[in-house]
Structure 1
Amino acid sequence: MNEKFAHESHTIMNELVLPNDTNTLNNLMGGRLLHWMDIAAAISAQKHCNSIVVTASVDNVSFKHPIKLGDVISIEAQVTRAFNTSVEVRLVVWAQNIPSGTRVKSNEAFYTLVAIDKQGMTTAVPRLIPTTDEEKTLYNEALQRRELRLVLAGKLKPKDAKELQNLFKEVVKD
């Protein structure tokens, strides 16, 4: 199976928040943001996988800062780890008010997408090669996030989640 560098999947998607995207408080609706994030994650994953991908899971998405009508959002998406048939994609959302010159981080999340072939069957994905320190950190921590997702989904017993157990051992030591 071939390999790809982490930066090759980097995607930035921009959207202008229009009236149809907002609620009665003139804030971007959460569902619209999740929709855009899903698209950005899929683009990043498809760049890495060279195949169609479908969303398998979305980690916790917390809304740290409201995005207002007229703001421009930038969604940065990048594959952080490739597994057998799936990839984890990190998304960071920035809200920019161009007239005032402000830019704030609004959201961050991890999506898991699965590569599928033309028959709808899962297919192997290229290995990911992280190069920067940040990419290496996200890559290494991805195993813990994956185990947590699997435990919460009931697909892995906590006693079998070795990476999570190691994490908690480190936390208890400190």
Structure 2
Amino acid sequence: MTFKKVEDSQVTISELMLPSHSNFNGKIHGGYILSLLDQIAFACASKHSGAYCVTASVDTVDFLKPIEIGELVTMKASVNSIGSSSMVIGIRVEAENIRTGEKKHCNSSYFTMVAKNEEGKSVPVPGLMLKSREELRRFAKSLKRLENKVKRRKEFNDTDFISEEYLHIQELDNVKIEM
């Protein structure tokens, strides 16, 4: 098996936020940021795998601070962990006021990407060589997010949702149960 260093697949993009990217509140539209996130996740995963990659899931998208028109947005993506044909791409989004130089962390996201061949079949990806405590921390956090994802799927598919743990719902002020 071949291994690639995290740094070999890292991708950074920057883009100036224009009025055409804004929502009705004058902030940059979250959907536009999601589109950029998907693009950089694709670039990072494809760079690591050497294959065409598709988005399998978006595990987390945390919008921490709004992005303003005129700010320079920089996205940094790296492979945090891998499976046999999948990769978890961690992305950090920062916005910079280009007049003052002030930077703010606006978003963190985790995309699971899958490498595919020309027939659309999943293909193996190179292993991941971890060379720092930070890379090891990101890998471990990815494993924890995967555990939580599996747990959420199991809970979502559980059809026996009426149980003791949900009886407190009837005490909420904004819910009325008539069964």
Q: TM-score range by the shorter chain?
A: 0.7 to 0.9
Report SS of the residue matched to 1:142. Answer: helix
Aligned: 1:2 with 2:7? no
| 2:167 equivalent in structure 1 | none
The one-letter code sitting in structure 2 at the alignment partner of 1:49 is S
| 1:130 equivalent in structure 2 | 130
2:9–2:47 CA contact under 8 A, matched in 1: yes
Bigger Rg over Cα: 2
Aligned: 1:81 with 2:93? no
User: Identity of paired residues, percent?
Assistant: 31
| Equivalent pairs, count | 158
Q: Distance in 1 between matches of 2:154 and 2:36?
A: 28
| 2:42 equivalent in structure 1 | 42
RMSD (Å), alpha carbons: 1.9
Runs of 4+ deviating beyond 4 Å = none
Report SS of the residue matched to 2:78. Answer: strand
TM-score, normalising length: structure 1: 0.85
- Structure 1: gaps spanning 5 or more residues: 158-174
| 2:115 equivalent in structure 1 | 115
Report SS of the residue matched to 1:141. Answer: helix
Q: Distance in 1 between matches of 2:154 and 2:42?
A: 25
Report SS of the residue matched to 1:60. Answer: strand
TM-score, normalising length: structure 2: 0.83
Report SS of the residue matched to 2:62. Answer: coil
| 1:163 equivalent in structure 2 | none
Distance 1:117 1:154, change over 3 A: farther
Q: Distance in 2 between matches of 1:117 and 1:60?
A: 27
Query: 1:149 Cα shift?
Result: 2.0
Query: 1:128 Cα shift?
Result: 0.3
After TM superposition, list the pairs within 5 Å mapping 1:137-152 onto structure 2. 137-152=137-152
Query: 1:57 Cα shift?
Result: 0.8
